[in-house]
A and B are shown apart, each in its own frame.
Chain A
Amino acid sequence: MKKSRLNIFLLMGIVFSLILASGVSAQAAFPEKEITLIIQAAPGGVSDAVGRTMAASAEKILGVPIVPTNITGAAGAIAMGELKESPPDGYTIGYVPVELAMVKALGYADISPEDFDLIMRVNIVPAALTVRADAPYQTFEEFVEYAKEHPGEILVGTSGTGSIWHIAGLALEEVIGAKFTYVPFDGAAPSVAALMGGHIHAVTCSPTEVLSGVEGGDLKILAVLGEKRSPLFPEVPTAQELGFDINVMAWGGFALPKGTPEEVYDTIASAFWEALETETFQKIMEERGIEVSPLDGPAFREFAMQQFEMYMDLIPRALEQQ
């Protein structure tokens, strides 16, 4: 029996140090108990960073703990489905990514922006065309030229068929009138690795994901495929500046289940805005290379619906083409 007591003692020690590390918070008025924040991606990525940072900043304003909960699977459809089904009392908030506008078109789940009361858009992640530094094309125009002359030869790595960066490639293909061969990888990082290893010719993912490779001199960004230049690479032009009408970006924001009472919505929305404007939030976003581009609820709603309609049209065509 002595041994088991020792064991329990030891376990207690571990547990208490864990508690110390996690910290405890206090209580206040409207939100009278802790709030759950559903994040649709695994810990470690951009969605998780935005979600957790917002939770940490907003819980100080709301006065109740906001507990981030990562629910992964089906490109976020599981998490968004869970949010949709949650009681609309303000105690369950969700991070919603660009996939909010995509999962229906992909056939994963029946979810659209209309199923939610959108709180705000927080960040955008523009797509960018990146190639190897030793490629035969050094500018976007040269790339377009080359792609037209060599249909099907350029291997473009994507983060998976039907993913946002695959859509970016397809949109680019359409707008410059060329034909690529797509190589789907399991996420953006492996596709960048394959590009650096010389196994493929280009990737259409975010500037953040290729930052190290570009700084190290292995890779070169030819153009940003979003609406404005990336703060990380202010010298790289957008495709729009070069006369190609293309605008593909990932984005993320927060949402509540449909039918949340107005005063609850207002309390949360104003707290999140306040949190967004804090110095710590801005600083963490900047360090992580996340581009903050906020929209308020109604504007976000309009934006999301417009994206939804675009993908409902684009994705079925894209999947068919494959």
Chain B
Amino acid sequence: MADFLFGVFTLALGMVIYWGANRLPGGVLTFALNPGFFPKIVAVGLMVLGAILAYQGWKNRQTYGEGKLSKELRLRLGALLGLVFLYLILWGNGSFLLNTLIFLFLSHIIMKYRVLPSLLSSTVITVLTWILFTQAFRVRLF
């Protein structure tokens, strides 16, 4: 089923790109083709490939990665993605060291690690990362 959905998605993506490419202003430059030329090739490629994959996916409905993810794993993955998202949203607010420490600690927990070593490990990683980037490479974090 996944393949079918991916096929349909690819097909749709191709259509969107084709539509976008069609709206690009045509170049007046005599020889060098216009800006939409190459995007259109890509779009057509996507549409054709998407259709093939959708067809193949419909014919043999394959499942991947030893079946569906368990509920727990989906939860953990969702939590991790949400954590990264939150970390990036909060980037620039508060202090880099504190944000990162909390971020890493929670990520350890999500990854099923024991609390105490998690705290230790996230402290070490935070400090080392901070030293490496701000002191050695003079990157301006926050």
Chain A residues packing against B (C-beta within 8 Å): 8, 11-12, 15, 18-19, 21-22, 36, 67-69, 320-322
Contacts and interface: CB of A to CB of B under 8 A. Distances in A.
Interface in B22-76: 27-29
B128 A15 contact: yes
A22 B136 contact: yes
B3 to A, nearest CB: 36
Classify chain B: how many residues form its interface, as a range.
10 to 19
Contacts of B27: 322
Given A19-B135, A322-B27, A322-B29, A67 B140 contact: yes
A322 B132 contact: no
Contacts of B140: 36, 67, 69
Contact of A11 (B128, B135, B137, B138): B128
B132 A18 contact: yes
B27 to A, nearest CB: 7
Contact of A22 (B29, B128, B138): B138
B28 A18 contact: no
Contacts of B138: 22, 67-68
22 contacts: A8-B124, A11-B128, A12-B128, A15-B132, A15-B135, A18-B132, A18-B137, A19-B131, A19-B135, A19-B136, A21-B136, A22-B135, A22-B136, A22-B137, A22-B138, A67-B138, A67-B140, A69-B139, A69-B140, A321-B28, A322-B27, A322-B28
A322 B31 CA distance: 11
Contacts of A19: 131, 135-136
B38 to A, nearest CB: 15
Interface string B114-142: 00000000001000100110011111100
B36 to A, nearest CB: 15
Nearest to A65: B138
A265 to B, nearest CB: 22
A36 B142 CA distance: 12
Nearest to A68: B138
Interface in B80-128: 124, 128
Contacts of A68: 138
Given A15-B128, A22-B135, 5 more contacts: A15-B136, A21-B136, A67-B140, A69-B139, A321-B28
Contacts of B29: 322
Contacts of B28: 320-322
Nearest to A17: B136
Contacts of B131: 15, 19
Contact of B136 (A12, A18, A69, A321): A18
Instruction: Report the 9 A-B pairs with minimum CB-CB distance, sorted nearest first.
Output: A18-B136, A19-B135, A69-B140, A15-B131, A322-B29, A67-B138, A22-B136, A15-B132, A36-B140
Contacts of B128: 8, 11-12, 15
Nearest to A34: B140
A212 B38 CA distance: 36
A8 to B, nearest CB: 7
B112 to A, nearest CB: 18
Nearest to A37: B140
